[in-house]
Amino acid sequence: MLSAQLSCHFRATTERKPPSLASMRQHALSTLNWDDAKSTLLATPSQAASQAEYGGSIPLIRSLPMTRRNSWSSALFGSCPAPWSLRLHPLRAYNVPRRARRREQQVSPARQFGTIRRLPSGRYQARYWHLGEQVSAGTTFATKTDARAWLSSVETDLRRGDHVDPRAGSERFGDYARRWLDERDLRPRTRETYESQLAWILNIFESVRLREIDAASVRSWYGRMHKAGRSSNTVAKVYRLFRTIMSTAVDDGLLRSNPVSIKGAAAEEHHPRPVPTFEYVARLADMIEPRFSALVWLAATSGLRYSELTALCRSHIDLNGSTVRVERALAFERGVGAAFGPPKTPAAHRSVVIPAGTIDILGEHLDEYVASNPHALVFTSVKGSPLLYRYFAPYWTRAEAAAGVREDVHFHDLRHLASTNAASSGASVRELMARMGHATSDASLRYLEASARRDAEIAAAMEARIAIRVTSGSNASSPTTRAGASGGGVRCERASAICGAASRSGSRPITATATPSLPPN
């Protein structure tokens, strides 16, 4: 025990001469238990006295009540009286080196994240280290508390993995949007459309930094677009482009969230388009320039887009297999003119089966207007150049006037007619997507519109099923009917009457053999 060792040492040296203060300090330091010293420096006086009585560490003297200069010697040496006065300072812990005490006094509380400094203007600047470089807040703070709160939020974001560099959103929207457009692989026509739509956004936000675009400014811009007299669908298209660009900025880590988030602003209003009938198609094909008659029939029966029709060459048409293969599309490219490129979507690469009547018309067109070269274009202008729509539009307008067709019927409405006719013939949504070259089902469902003609067909089919069931029941209940019903005369007679009514109503004929019967009860 420390007290016993010191007591024996002092008894042995008392008879010779009193020990010096330096020797006492050296002996105390050699026998010091540093762990006990650290734990007992904060002990209460009662605990200190108790530990000293049982041989505790010398630092206990620091917390003992001192009334006389040598009163601590009895606690240190037990009951052995000190024959001399040590003359030590009562409040100094001699067992702890001064250098260690100095280090201990310099230990600060837990280190805080980031640094804050006061600027000559009186405001405060907050900075922190991230990825080996010092990052400053994008603004200064009026108080030190605000600066500390900002650093705390940054520290929380770093721990969650949601950190966004405040310097990242400093790029101007105009520069970022133009770079976004240049990095996209777009068809020439699509690029021109995006450029024209982007001009409406750059009028307001071209010089605005990305991080400064907020929801309030976006709502103000959206309201101005409507007041400028633009149609609701045009505003929706421009809004979707704006939202897409800002979503990319969020993915790039430049923004925390997308401020372009007006509910319902991206939805377009789908106005019903007039659907021409095949009687209209026949009149248009007769009145239009003869070299374009096959183009009208093929558009109305195949559902191909105008750009796909005008890009067909002789090798894309198989008269024996009654198919047309779509591999490219024709478009006008600014500064280039007519240019061939990929179809509108990857799903547009397809092979479409053509009705036999249209194949006959197409065969006659190939013999009369198309060269024998496999790469020769099927449809060209009068001068033999690629048939851009600007060259075809005047012929279409004159044919509409001559045929007495409504002027609001567009050439693209022939695609609508082909799609609706395919759906009325029983094509499923998946089959319709494959035939029309749609990438999503939404585009195909847009063409599935109920019509009075199709409604009459459904009613006729229902009546045929009911008639078959009633006829089957009467045959089972009457022996006379069973004996004289060879070949099902009553059933065929009823079905023929229904088919005649359906034919008079203008719907396609329905035969009794093609109509399945209902299961028995």
Q: Tell me, what CATH number does 176's domain have?
A: 1.10.150.130
CATH number of the domain enclosing 303: 1.10.443.10
Q: What is the mean pLDDT of the chain?
A: 74
Let me know if residue 100 belongs to a domain.
yes
Q: Which of 176, 280, 306, 447 is flagged as catalytic?
A: 447
Task: Mark whether 11 is an active-site residue.
Answer: no
Note whether 151 and 78 are same-domain residues.
Answer: no
How confident is the model at residue 455, as a pLDDT?
Answer: 66
In a domain, 367, yes or no: yes
Question: Could you say which of 62, 211, 243, 305 is catalytic?
Answer: 305
Q: Which of 445, 465, 486 is the last residue of a domain?
A: 445
484 shares a domain with 469: yes
Note whether 67 and 121 are same-domain residues.
no
Q: Per the domain annotation, does 521 fall within a domain?
A: no
For residue 116, give both structure tokens: 């804050």
- Identify the band that residue 484 occupies on the pLDDT scale cut at 50, 70 and 90: very low
Q: What is the pLDDT of residues 250-293, one digit of tens each?
A: 888 888 889 999 998 888 887 777 778 888 899 999 999 999 99
Select from 147, 163, 179 the last residue of a domain: 163
Of 243 and 135, the one with more pLDDT? 243
> What type of residue sits at position 373?
N
- Can you tell me the distance from the alpha carbon of 508 to that of 227, in angstroms, rounded to the nearest whole number? 49
Of 246 and 433, more confident: 246
Question: Which two structure tokens, joined as six digits, stand for 47?
Answer: 């605990």
User: Which pair of structure tokens corresponds to residue 395?
Assistant: 């012929």
Residue-level pLDDT at 221: 93
Residues 361 and 491 in one domain: no
Whether 305 is catalytic: yes
Which of 117, 167, 412, 465 is an active site residue?
412
Let me know: does 434 contact 311? Beta carbons within 8 Å.
Answer: no
Active site residue 243: no
Tokens of 456: 């009459």
Q: Are residues 295 and 237 in the same domain?
A: no
Question: Worst-scoring range by mean pLDDT, 13-22, 326-335, 486-495?
Answer: 486-495
Report yes or no on 509 lying in a domain. no
Distance CA(469)–CA(517), nearest Å, equals 7
pLDDT value for 282: 92
**Cα→Cα distances 43→1, 47, 71, Å:** 20, 6, 19
296 and 424 in one domain? yes
330's tokens: 């024709």
Both tokens of 221, joined, read 């811009």
Q: Of 402, 429, 445, which residue constitutes the final position of a domain?
A: 445
Q: Report how far residue 491's alpha carbon sits from residue 495's, in angstroms, rounded to the nearest whole number.
A: 6
Q: Domain check: are 291 and 392 in the same one?
A: yes
Q: Is the pLDDT of residue 63 over 80?
A: no
Cβ contacts of 365 within 8 Å, gap of 6 or more:
291, 293, 294, 378
How far apart CA 195 and CA 178 sit, in angstroms, is: 9
412 given a catalytic annotation: yes
Q: What residues make up the domain containing 209?
A: 170-251
Q: Look at strands 115-118 and 323-326 and give their pairing.
A: unpaired
Q: Is residue 273 part of a domain?
A: no
Give the integer Cα–Cα distance in Å for 176 and 182.
Answer: 10
pLDDT at 404: 82
Of 258 and 60, the structure prediction assigns the larger pLDDT to 258
Domain count of the chain? Answer: 5
Residues in the chain: 521
pLDDT of res. 406: 72
In the beta sheet, which residues pair with residue 323?
318, 353
Contact 211, 255 (CB under 8 A): yes
Residue type, 273: R
340 - beta bridge partners? 330
134's CB contacts (< 8 A; 6+ apart) are 127, 128
Name the percent of the chain lying above pLDDT 70: 64
Quote the radius of gyration of the chain (alpha carbons, Å): 47
Q: How confident is the model at residue 313 (pLDDT cuts 50, 70, 90)?
A: very high
Assess whether pLDDT exceeds 80 at residue 445.
no
Share of the chain above pLDDT 90, in %: 33
Q: Across-strand partners of 126?
A: 116
Nearest alpha carbon to residue 297 among 421, 424, 381, 401: 421
Q: Is the pTM of this model over 0.85?
A: no
* Residue 40 one-letter amino acid: T
Residue 520, both tokens: 């028995």
d(C-alpha 103, C-alpha 145), whole Å: 30
Domain co-membership, 18 together with 156: no
Question: What is the model's pLDDT at position 441?
Answer: 77
Three-class SS state of 311: coil
One domain, residues 129 and 212: no
268 in a structural domain: no
**Residue 270 among the catalytic residues:** no
Tell me, what DSSP letter sits at residue 339? E
**Residues 6 or more apart whose Cβ sits within 8 Å of residue 241:** 194, 197, 198, 201
Q: Quickly list H helices, 68-132.
A: 72-77, 98-106
SS3 28: helix
222 in the same domain as 94: no
Of residues 415, 416, 491, 494, which has the active-site annotation? Answer: 415
| More confident call, 74 vs 133 | 133
> Does one domain contain both 283 and 334?
yes
* Residue 37 pLDDT greater than 90, yes or no: no
On whether the CB atoms of residues 207 and 172 are closer than 8 A, the answer is yes
Please indicate, yes or no, whether residues 308 and 386 belong to a single structural domain of this protein: yes
Phi, psi of 323 (to 5 degrees): -130, 155
Q: Please check the confidence at residue 51 and state whether its pLDDT lies above 60.
A: no
Q: What are phi and psi of 326, to 5 degrees?
A: -100, 120
**Exposed (0-12), middle (13-18) or buried (19+): which is 486, by Cβ within 10 Å?**
exposed
Task: Locate 521 and state its tokens.
Answer: 């009860």
- DSSP-derived letter for residue 114 is S
Full strand arrangement of the beta sheet holding 350-353: 317-318, 323-326, 350-353
73 within domain boundaries? yes
DSSP structure string for 370-427: S-SSTT-BSSB-TTSSB--HHHHHHHHHHHHHHHT--TT--TTHHHHHHHHHHHHTT-
Residue at 295 is within a domain: yes
Q: Is 191 exposed, middle or buried (0-12, 13-18, 19+ CB in 10 A)?
A: middle
Which pLDDT band holds residue 475 (cuts at 50, 70, 90)? low
CA distances (Å), origin 408, targets 153, 283, 304, 306: 59, 16, 20, 17
Q: Write the Ramachandran bin of 501: left for phi over 0, alpha for psi from -120 to 50, otherwise beta.
A: alpha
**Which of 243, 435, 438, 494 is labelled catalytic?**
438
Q: Is the pLDDT of residue 40 over 80?
A: no
pLDDT for res 436: 86
pLDDT of residue 48: 43
Distance between alpha carbon 427 and the CA centroid of its chain, in Å? 32
